[in-house]
């Protein structure tokens, strides 16, 4: 009976340990109190409010900046420091923008330009990633093709236009060739740098965990290289965008570049500035909606976000 009683007492003690609240050495309850939970919730709310205030402050500063810039523009136009046909007023440019969207000329130009951009840039991304991986993985290609690519990147995109005309004539293929060459080298070099600058411990850890070949690249090397790759893709987009507008201005084919040259030929400064605003606005939208979003996601994913 004593043995049974001792077993029952031991079981009760174990159950009490399992279901008893966590305690510290001096016997106090180690679980957070209601006051502690409320303070933690309050801190989280303060942090959220702080983020909202930072975003609102950033937007307000941007609005004030562009409002001041617009005001200076309007003041200079009102004072007629330069003739109106050389320095038009903001409201005159605004009227041209509205009319251009009403008669769909701007919409057609934007559609044609963005179509070429997506095709040319898409090709440069695919080919650039393949070339970058090949150069980073092969010593012979790195010593030969790698140096050539760095030298070619210093060549302005406009220099590819005569070659494109001689090879493809005044055609759509010539424009796409200029766009491709404008961004291919930037994407390739970014992919090569991202692959080469990875710490060797990543590949070693992946192999120790059983990843080899394509699995090692897809699950270890590629995710770790994404910050470098996104930076290269962003730079490649900027190069491709500039190359495309230059090519459209020279080839005089349907697009924003052609509308810009049409404004010049008609001596219409309102249209010239309106198209320039469209080009800058589209570039800003793509950068903000695509690349900055991707950069923030990567920073948060890999713990690279700035502390302030």
pLDDT digits (tens, 9 = 90+) for 142-169: 778 877 887 887 788 888 888 888 888 8
- pLDDT for 35 equals 56
Indicate whether 25 pLDDT > 50.
Answer: no
- pLDDT for 275 equals 92
- pLDDT for 276 equals 92
d(CA 117, CA 297): 24
Indicate whether 39 pLDDT > 60.
Answer: no
More reliable by pLDDT, 252 or 240: 240
Indicate whether 132 pLDDT > 80.
Answer: yes
What mean pLDDT do residues 182-190 have?
Answer: 85
Span 191-221, pLDDT tens digits: 777 777 776 777 777 777 777 767 777 777 7
CA distance to 26, 115, 249, per residue, from 255 (Å) = 77, 10, 9
Predicted TM-score (pTM) of the model is 0.71
Percent of the chain predicted with pLDDT > 70 = 79
Residues 6+ apart with CB under 8 A from 276: 260
- pLDDT for 273 equals 92
d(CA 225, CA 193): 9
Residues 6+ apart with CB under 8 A from 125: 183, 187, 233, 236
Would you place residue 278 in the very low, low, confident or very high pLDDT band (cuts 50, 70, 90)? very high
Tokens of 236: 């490649």
- pLDDT for 11 equals 45
Indicate whether 247 pLDDT > 60.
Answer: yes
- pLDDT for 41 equals 55
- pLDDT for 142 equals 78
DSSP reduced 3-state for 252: coil
What mean pLDDT do residues 92-105 have?
Answer: 89
d(CA 170, CA 252): 9
- The string of DSSP codes covering 154-217 is TS-GGGHHHHHHHHH-SSHHHHHHHHHHHHHHHHHHHHHHHHHTS-HHHHHHHHHTT--HHHHI
Please tell me the total number of residues recorded for the chain in this structure: 308
- pLDDT for 20 equals 41
């Amino acid at each position: 009976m004593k043995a049974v009683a001792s077993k029952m007492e031991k079981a009760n003690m174990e159950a009490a340990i399992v279901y008893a609240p966590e305690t510290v050495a001096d016997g106090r309850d180690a679980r957070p109190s209601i006051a502690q939970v409320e303070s933690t919730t309050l801190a989280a709310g303060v942090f959220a409010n702080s983020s909202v205030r930072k975003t609102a402050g950033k937007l307000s500063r941007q609005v004030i900046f562009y409002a001041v810039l617009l005001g200076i523009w309007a003041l200079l136009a009102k004072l007629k420091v330069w003739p109106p046909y050389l320095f038009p007023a903001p409201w005159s440019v605004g009227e041209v923008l509205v009319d251009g969207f009403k008669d769909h000329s701007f919409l057609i130009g934007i559609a044609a330009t963005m179509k070429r951009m997506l095709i040319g840039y898409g090709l440069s991304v695919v080919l650039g990633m393949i070339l970058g991986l090949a150069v980073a993985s092969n010593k012979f290609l790195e010593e030969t093709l790698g140096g050539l690519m760095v030298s070619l990147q210093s060549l302005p995109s406009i220099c590819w236009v005569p070659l494109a005309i001689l090879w493809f004539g005044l055609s759509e293929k010539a424009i796409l060739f200029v766009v491709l060459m404008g961004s291919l080298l930037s994407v390739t070099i970014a992919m090569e740098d991202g692959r080469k600058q990875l710490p060797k411990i990543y590949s070693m850890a992946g192999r120790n965990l059983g990843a080899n070949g394509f699995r090692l690249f897809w699950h270890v090397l590629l995710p770790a290289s994404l910050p470098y790759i996104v930076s290269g893709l962003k730079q490649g987009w900027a190069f491709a965008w500039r190359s495309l507008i230059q090519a459209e201005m020279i080839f005089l084919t349907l697009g924003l570049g052609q509308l810009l040259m049409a404004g010049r030929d008609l001596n219409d400064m309102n249209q010239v500035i309106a198209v320039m605003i469209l080009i800058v606005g589209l570039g800003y939208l793509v950068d903000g909606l695509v690349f900055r979003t991707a950069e923030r996601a990567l920073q948060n994913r890999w713990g690279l976000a700035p502390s302030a």
